[in-house]
Each structure stands twice: as C-alpha cells, then as structure tokens.
Structure 1
C-alpha cells in the first residue's frame, strides 16, 4: 500500500506538481487572500488584544460541539449580528468555508435531486456532492445558455451553485442573469461569496439585493476580513435543517470563542474603514493599466496570467521570488491541464512602485 502511495507521489514529482509545505516566505505579498490588509492591520490587532485581555476566557477551548457544550453566547450573538448585517433571517457559523460547503451540499440535496455546478466551482463543493448521493452535473463556466440547456432537461429538485467571484480566474459570475434562469425552471441557487465579501461590500447577493431569491449564501472570513471561519446565510428553516441533519456541523467541536469575537470585531472595523476597498480598487487599476493579458475581471483583486508551460511558469515565479515578490503558480489538477497560471492577488497595502516592478519582471520573462 505504501508503495502505491509513493508511486503516486513520484509521478507528481516528475511532472513538477508535487505539493510540499514550506514556511511562509519574506517578501512583497502578491499571493495571499488578505485583500484589505486586515490580517496585518496593527490597529485592528490592538483592538482584538484589548478585548482578549478583558476576556481571557475566549482563548479556551469550546469543550464540545454546539449541540452539546459548545454553543456559547458569543457565537449566538455573532450569528445574529451577521444575519442582520447581511439582511438575512438567519446565519450559521462554521470553522471554515470548506466545512460550510460540505454541510450545505451533503445535506440539502438528496439522492433524488440534482446539483448543477459551474465547471469552475470550488473543490469543496465537488467533495460535498460525493457525500450527498445526488446527481451532479456541470455547466460551462459563466455560460447562461448552457445552464439553461442543462436545467430544462431535469426533473425534480435542482440546486444550482456558483461563486460570485472565482478564485482561480478572478472573473465575476453574471449572478442576476443566472438567478432569472434558475427561477424560470423552479430551481434553487446557492452562492459562494468567499472572494467577493469585503472586496465588493458584503458581496454581490447583497449588492443586487437578492437575499430573498437565493436559497443560501456562503461568506468566508479567512480572506478580506483577515480572520477565520465562515457563515451560511439562509432562512430560519434551512438553518434548523442544517443543525439537525448536517454531519459537518453536528459532529464538529465548536471553535474557540476568540474566533467568533474576532469575526464580529472585524466586521465593525471594516464598516468604519471603507477606504481600504477604495485603495484596493486603485491598485487593481494600476495593475490593469500595465497591459498584461488576463481573463480576470477588471475590478478583481485576483488577476490570473495563463502560462500553459510548466517550465516557463516556474521560471517566472522563481524570478519574481528572487526579486522579493511572492506569487502563486497554479498547476493542474487544481486547474485544467493547459490552463496553468500565475495567480496574482492584489491588496490595499501594495504600493504603485511594487505593482509596476512586478509587472515589469513578468513582461521580461513571458
């Protein structure tokens, strides 16, 4: 058995796609999801530190799942706060976005239902679909016509799921057109706002006021909010159903209260610092003005540069690293073979000089 494992690892090593864990590097950050810089913000850190000093008990373990001993006042208050902020009847917190998606898609659809996913949906949704026993179908990325062709052939309950801002391509879903098609065929839409939240206000569901037309929205806090965890925004009946039937919720020890406190505090901090998202958009414009070819949206913090040559891709990333710029090369199978790319994440704290120098190096080696 170990021999089989080693063979698979050796094959990855030969193709140059072996994943290994490395310490965080020193350099200019163009690879993290800390779009607004809240994870490094000293003012926010000081606010959190003062709250922890005043309430040191939040650092202790929760002692159990939320259905046993882990349902604290902090998590209840934070969920109520989040639901109100996003104009949803209810919110249910999870330790991560991965767990939130596992809970949704392994629980709501049954073996008699169909889950229709955008072909570029996050891996967590695919993993959850395996747990649900529902039929899973794909539609072409952001293709309204293809989605309709898939939907019209189905019988029974259909769940359609998209990301509002895609993590690998950095492009935006036509969410208003998609909801029209989903409603036309009496389906239910679930939207993952992991990368849109904070960058585009509270996300595109909130921006277009689609709360009462979307079955559930997933918000994650390990990106623009600079914290950790996730929330499913939904109707009260969906929340109650998940609490009763979602294994990833029922059988997980609740996070420490410091996580819930951090989320609520970071929301409040974000609301009083709208200049961070303004500065981020200015930096995105600077990058876009350098003329690099990218499939990403013009206002997206994720800018993908497709380099379908593993050796060239590695060389570009290494040259950037040698010059102190941290970027992330994405190989298959994370993305489809032939679409390997350099994934550049822009932040509110990047300087114009850093952005221009980054693009200059990329141009020299591509």
Structure 2
C-alpha cells in the first residue's frame, strides 16, 4: 500500500507539482488572502485580547457538537447578528468554508435533483457533490448562455453553484444575470462570497441587493476578516433542515466561543475602519497601472499572471523570492494544463514601492 502511495508522490515530484508544507514566509506578502491586513492588525488583536481578558471562558473547548453540549448563547447571538447584517432570515455557523459547502451540497440536493456548477467552482463544492446523490453538470465559466442551455433541458429541481469572485482568475461572476436565470427556471442559486466579503462591503449579494434571489450564500471569515470560520445565509427552514440532516454539522465538535465572538468583533471592526478597504482598492489601482497582462478584473484583489511554461513560471517565482517577495505559483492540476499562473494577492498594507518593484520583476518574464 505504501509503495502505491509513494509511486503517486514520485510522479508528482517528477513533473514538478509535488505539494509540501513550507515554513511561514517572512517575505513581503503578495500571496495570502489577508486582503485587509486584519490578521496582523494590532488594534484588532488588542480588541480580541481585551475580549478574552473580560471573559476567559471564551477559550474553553465546547466539549461536543452543537446538538449535544456545544451550543451556546454566544453562537446563537452571533448567528442572529450575522443574518441581520446580511439581510437574510437566518444563518448557520461552521468551522470553515469547506465544511459549510460540504454541508450545503451534500445535504440539500437529493437523487432527483441536479447541481449545475460553474466549471471553476471551489473544490469543496465538487467534493460535496460526490457525497450527494444528485447529478452534477458543469457550465462554462461565467457563461450565462451556456447555463441557460443546460437549464432548459432539466425536468427536475436544480441548484446553481457559483462564486461571486473567483480565486484563481480573480474575475467576477455575472451574478445579476445568473440570479435572473435561476428565477426564470425556478432553480436555487447558491453563491460563495469567500473572496468578495470585506473587500466589497458584505459581498456582491448585498451590493446588488439580491437577497431575495439567492437561495443561500456562504460567507467565510479566514480571508478579509482575518479570523476563521464561515456562515451559511439562508431561510429558517433551510437552517433547520441542515441542523437535522447535514453530517458535516451534526458530527463535528463545535468551535470555541472565542471564534464566534471574534467574528462578530471583526464585523464591528470593519464598520469602524472603512479606510482598510479604501487603501486596498488604491493599491489594486497602482498594480493595474503597471499594465501587466492579466485576465483578472481591474478591481479584484486577486491578479493572475498567466505563464503556461512551467520552467519560466518557476524562474519568475525564484526571482521574486530572491527579492523577498512571497508569491504563489499555481500549477496543474489545481488549474488546467496550459493555464498555469502566478497568483498575486494585493493587500491594504502593501506599499506603492513594493507593488512597483514586484511589477518590474514580473514584466521581465512576461
């Protein structure tokens, strides 16, 4: 058995795509999802520390799943708070966005249903679909026309799965068009707002006021909010159904109350510090003004630089590393062969000088 595993690892090593765990980088951050710098924000950290000092019990383990001993007045209060902030009837908290997507797509659709997913949807959704008995169909990335052609052929209930901002290309879904199609064909639209929340207010659903057209949404807190966890925004009936039937919720020990309380504190901190998002968008503009070829949106914090030559991509990342820039090179199978790229994440804390120097090095390889 070990020989089989080792052979698979050796094949990856030979093709240069073997994944390994590396020490935390001390370089200039152009690769993390900490878009607003909140994970290292001293003022935010002090607020969390003060919260713990006032109530050390927040750090205690929950001792069980939420259906046994892990529920608390704090997690219930925070769920109500989140739902109100996003203008949804209710919300359900999870330890991660991955678990939230597993719960949604493995539980809601049944064997008579169809899940229609954007071909670039997050891996967690694909994994959840494998746990479901529903049929899965992919539609071409951000292509409402192809989606409608698929919807026309369906005879049973359908779910549509998209991200509002995609993490590999850094482009936006045509969420208004897709919401209109879901309404036209009576399909349930589910939107993952992981990379839009905090960067664009509370996300694209709020921006376009689509709460009544989006059946459920996933908001994650390990990116712009700088904490951890995720919430599913939904109707009360959907929440109750998940509590009763979603294995990733039922059979998971609940997180500490500190996590839930830190999420609420994070929302409040965002409201008090709108300059974080403003500075981020200024930095995105500085990067775009360097005229680097990219398929990404002009206002996205994720900027992809496509370099389909593996050796050239490795050479670029090495050159950046030598100048202490931390970046992330993405090889297949994470992305399709021929679409390998350097994934650049812009942050509120990056300086203009850093962005220009980074861009200057990239231009030498593109």
If the TM-score is normalised by the length of the shorter chain, which range does it land in? over 0.9
| Helix, strand or coil at the partner of 2:364 | helix
Q: Find out whether 1:251 has 2:251 as its counterpart.
A: yes
| Helix, strand or coil at the partner of 1:165 | coil
Q: CA RMSD in A?
A: 0.6
Q: Find out whether 1:4 has 2:1 as its counterpart.
A: no
Deviation of 1:54 (Å): 1.1
Structure 1 segment 14-25 matched on structure 2, within 5 A = 14-25=14-25
Per-residue CA deviations over 1:228-278 (Å, capped at 9, x if unaligned) read 000000000000000000000000000011100110001100011011111
- Residue of structure 2 equivalent to 1:31: 31
Distance 2:160 2:72 in 1: 33
Q: Unpaired segments of 5 or more residues in structure 1? A: none
Structure 1 segment 46-125 matched on structure 2, within 5 A = 46-125=46-125
Structure 1 segment 163-174 matched on structure 2, within 5 A = 163-174=163-174
Deviation of 1:55 (Å): 0.7
Per-residue CA deviations over 1:174-214 (Å, capped at 9, x if unaligned) read 10011111111111100000000000000011111111111
TM-score for both structures, normalised by structure 1 = 0.99
- Residue of structure 2 equivalent to 1:288: 288
Per-residue CA deviations over 1:31-81 (Å, capped at 9, x if unaligned) read 000000110100010011011011111111100000000001111111010
Per-residue CA deviations over 1:282-317 (Å, capped at 9, x if unaligned) read 000000010100000000000000110111111101
| Helix, strand or coil at the partner of 1:170 | coil
Distance 1:50 1:86 in 2: 27
Deviation of 1:365 (Å): 2.5
Distance 2:133 2:20 in 1: 32
- Residue of structure 1 equivalent to 2:136: 136
| Helix, strand or coil at the partner of 2:49 | helix
Distance 2:21 2:354 in 1: 26
| Helix, strand or coil at the partner of 1:303 | strand
| Helix, strand or coil at the partner of 1:115 | strand
Distance 1:44 1:185 in 2: 44
| Helix, strand or coil at the partner of 1:314 | helix
TM-score for both structures, normalised by structure 2 = 0.99
- Residue of structure 2 equivalent to 1:183: 183
Distance 1:60 1:337 in 2: 46
- Residue of structure 2 equivalent to 1:317: 317
| Helix, strand or coil at the partner of 2:205 | helix
Deviation of 1:7 (Å): 0.5
Structure 1 segment 208-227 matched on structure 2, within 5 A = 208-227=208-227
Q: Unpaired segments of 5 or more residues in structure 2? A: none
Distance 1:16 1:250 in 2: 39
Distance 2:208 2:68 in 1: 38
Q: Find out whether 1:350 has 2:350 as its counterpart.
A: yes
Deviation of 1:85 (Å): 0.4
- Residue of structure 2 equivalent to 1:331: 331
- Residue of structure 1 equivalent to 2:207: 207
| Helix, strand or coil at the partner of 1:218 | strand
Deviation of 1:360 (Å): 0.3
| Helix, strand or coil at the partner of 1:227 | coil
| Helix, strand or coil at the partner of 1:349 | coil
| Helix, strand or coil at the partner of 1:365 | coil
Q: Find out whether 1:157 has 2:138 as its counterpart.
A: no
Q: How many residues align?
A: 366
Distance 1:208 1:365 in 2: 39
| Helix, strand or coil at the partner of 1:244 | helix
| Helix, strand or coil at the partner of 1:149 | helix
Per-residue CA deviations over 1:73-116 (Å, capped at 9, x if unaligned) read 11111101000000000000000000000000000000110000
- Residue of structure 2 equivalent to 1:194: 194
Distance 2:261 2:318 in 1: 39
